[in-house]
């Protein structure tokens, strides 16, 4: 596994921690299989998805349940076969094709822990599996061949739930990967900020981010959100304008990198030259760091979210955006006009990682707080969780119009909102690894690294 600036020290950490990681994956998979009545597990990396009425395919992305076993992100139709007590088997798809380059047989720090085989097609993969799969569970795309393969169950929810629940706690190996993803993401953000200060367009800023990370867009965990000026008010802004606006005011960039299948998710907001908006960004940064300081094992994430709204109410009042106390802004949902999304989510093999609402591996979900439908995490934090912390305030026309039309309108300083609307909004997002007594801020550490 290589990356921009990869070092022997990183390679040693990966090699030194992967064995224990795989052992943990095997142990929790074996427990889940036993609890659900299965004798084996077959995991599919995913299939290429064809473009409608064309012979092209969309960029491939390996399924997360596969990536937890092997850091193999770019090879479709591979399989991991696991039977408790045996060495896991990896079947790598190597098509005989001169149109595209076949996947290389992996030879890396993790391959000695697997029985590695190859197959030219799915039929060849099936031939390298046990003849009887009637007591095996399969996780992956619902392939048409599965009917003839005789698998016991396809994507059984009770088994997947147990596996998804366990993924929230990261192994030391996974933390190594997440730290590296943060390091690469921070390199990209530094490059993007330089491009913004030089007057670049949204597209040019993205290109600078990609160069800084040393990754192609399809290798990133998600398409970057790169919003100049009022575009920052669109939470998942998806455009990349090719020409800079006539006047530059601000940049909101939400972009991460990926390493060995693990994601970083980082957001920063920059002022071009407006001192007042820069001060507001600084105040949001202080608020975000105060929220980070309260993260530790045993904390209910719903309380973190509600605390964020209390602090947002204070920030809005201090910035003269609202004309009521923080308590009143929360009680009347004024804070939700400016902060309509959740304060954060689980992070790992997926940007919005699975298991955020699960009460237990056996069943049941933990509800969101009343009036906060967009929160993506409701669990009590445990040591080893990795979460994002992403407070923000935005000047969203649709939400502001609704507030203007009801009783909330008299609590908002509309001339101040109008003056700030050209900046779109502010969001600051860090990735936090939860510890027993606090958290490790993966993002801030990455920005502090050379």
In order of their start, the domains of the chain are 8-166 (3.40.350.10), 172-448 (3.90.230.10)
- How far is Cα 389 from Cα 430, in angstroms, rounded to an integer? 5
What's the pTM value of the predicted model, to 2 decimals? Answer: 0.97
pLDDT at 5: 54
Is 195 strand, coil or helix?
helix
Six-digit token string for 46: 């995913």
- How far is Cα 308 from Cα 287, in angstroms, rounded to an integer? 8
pLDDT per position in the chain (450 positions), as tens? 444 457 899 999 999 999 999 999 999 999 999 999 999 999 999 999 999 999 999 999 999 999 999 999 988 999 999 999 999 999 999 988 888 888 888 999 999 999 999 999 999 999 999 999 999 999 999 999 999 999 999 999 999 999 999 999 999 999 999 999 999 999 999 999 999 999 999 999 999 999 999 999 999 999 999 999 999 999 999 999 999 999 999 999 999 999 999 999 999 999 999 999 999 999 999 999 999 999 999 999 999 999 999 999 999 999 999 999 999 999 999 999 999 999 999 999 999 999 999 999 999 999 999 999 999 999 999 999 999 999 999 999 999 999 999 999 999 999 999 999 999 999 999 999 999 999 999 999 999 987
pLDDT at 101: 84
Phi, psi of 436, deg, nearest 5: -60, -40
HSE-up (13 A, CA, CB side) for residue 306: 12
Is 362 strand, coil or helix?
coil
| CB atoms inside a 10 Å sphere around CB 124 | 14
- How far is Cα 205 from Cα 91, in angstroms, rounded to an integer? 40
pLDDT at 99: 84
Q: Which helix (H) or strand (E) holds 30?
A: helix 8-36
- How far is Cα 47 from Cα 303, in angstroms, rounded to an integer? 40
- How far is Cα 348 from Cα 163, in angstroms, rounded to an integer? 14
| CB atoms inside a 10 Å sphere around CB 55 | 7
Six-digit token string for 402: 């609704």
Burial of residue 278 (number of CB atoms within 10 Å: 0-12, 13-18, 19+): middle
354-386 burial: b if 16+ Cβ within 10 Å, else e: bbbbbeebeeeebebeeebeebbbbbebeebbb
Q: Which helix (H) or strand (E) holds 392?
A: strand 392-394
| Contact indicator for 92, 44 with CB cutoff of 8 Å | no
């Amino acid at each position: 596994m290589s990356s921009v600036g990869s070092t022997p020290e990183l390679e040693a950490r990966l090699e030194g921690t992967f064995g224990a990681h795989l052992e943990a994956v095997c142990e929790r998979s074996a427990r889940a299989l036993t609890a659900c009545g299965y004798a084996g597990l077959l995991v599919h990396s995913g299939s290429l998805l064809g473009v409608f009425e064309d012979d092209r395919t969309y960029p491939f992305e390996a399924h997360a349940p596969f990536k937890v076993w092997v850091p193999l992100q770019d090879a479709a139709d591979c399989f991991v076969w696991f039977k408790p007590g045996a060495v896991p088997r990896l079947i790598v798809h190597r098509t005989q094709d001169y149109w595209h380059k076949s996947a290389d047989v992996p030879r890396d720090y993790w391959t000695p822990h697997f029985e590695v085989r190859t197959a030219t097609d799915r039929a060849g993969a099936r031939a390298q599996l046990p003849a009887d799969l009637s007591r095996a569970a399969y996780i992956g795309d619902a392939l048409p061949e599965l009917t003839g393969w005789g698998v016991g169950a396809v994507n059984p929810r009770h088994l997947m739930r147990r596996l998804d629940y366990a993924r929230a706690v990261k192994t030391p190996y996974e933390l190594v990967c997440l730290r590296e993803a943060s390091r690469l993401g921070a390199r990209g953000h530094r490059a993007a900020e330089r491009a913004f200060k030089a007057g670049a367009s949204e597209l040019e800023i993205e290109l600078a981010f990609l160069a800084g990370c040393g990754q192609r867009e399809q290798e990133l965990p998600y398409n970057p959100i790169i919003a100049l000026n009022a575009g920052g008010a669109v939470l998942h802004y998806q455009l990349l304008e090719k020409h800079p606006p006539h006047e530059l005011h601000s940049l909101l960039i939400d972009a991460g990198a990926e390493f060995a299948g693990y994601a970083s998710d980082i957001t920063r907001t920059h002022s071009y030259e407006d001192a007042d908006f820069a001060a507001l960004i600084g105040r949001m940064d202080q608020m975000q760091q105060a929220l980070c300081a309260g993260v530790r094992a045993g904390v209910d994430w719903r309380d973190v979210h509600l605390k964020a709204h209390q602090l947002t109410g204070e920030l809005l009042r201090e910035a003269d955006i609202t004309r009521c106390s923080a308590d009143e802004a929360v009680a009347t949902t004024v804070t939700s006009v400016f902060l309509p999304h959740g304060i954060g989510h689980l992070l790992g093999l997926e940007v919005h990682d699975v298991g955020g609402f699960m009460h237990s591996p056996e069943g049941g979900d933990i509800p969101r707080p009343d009036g906060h439908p967009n929160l993506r995490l409701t669990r009590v934090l445990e040591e080893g969780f990795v979460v994002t912390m992403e407070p923000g305030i935005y000047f969203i026309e649709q939400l502001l119009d609704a507030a203007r039309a009801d009783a909330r309108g008299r609590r908002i300083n509309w001339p101040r909102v109008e003056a700030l609307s050209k900046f779109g909004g502010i969001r600051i997002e860090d990735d936090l690894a939860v510890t027993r007594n606090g958290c490790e801020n993966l993002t801030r550490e990455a920005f502090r690294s050379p």
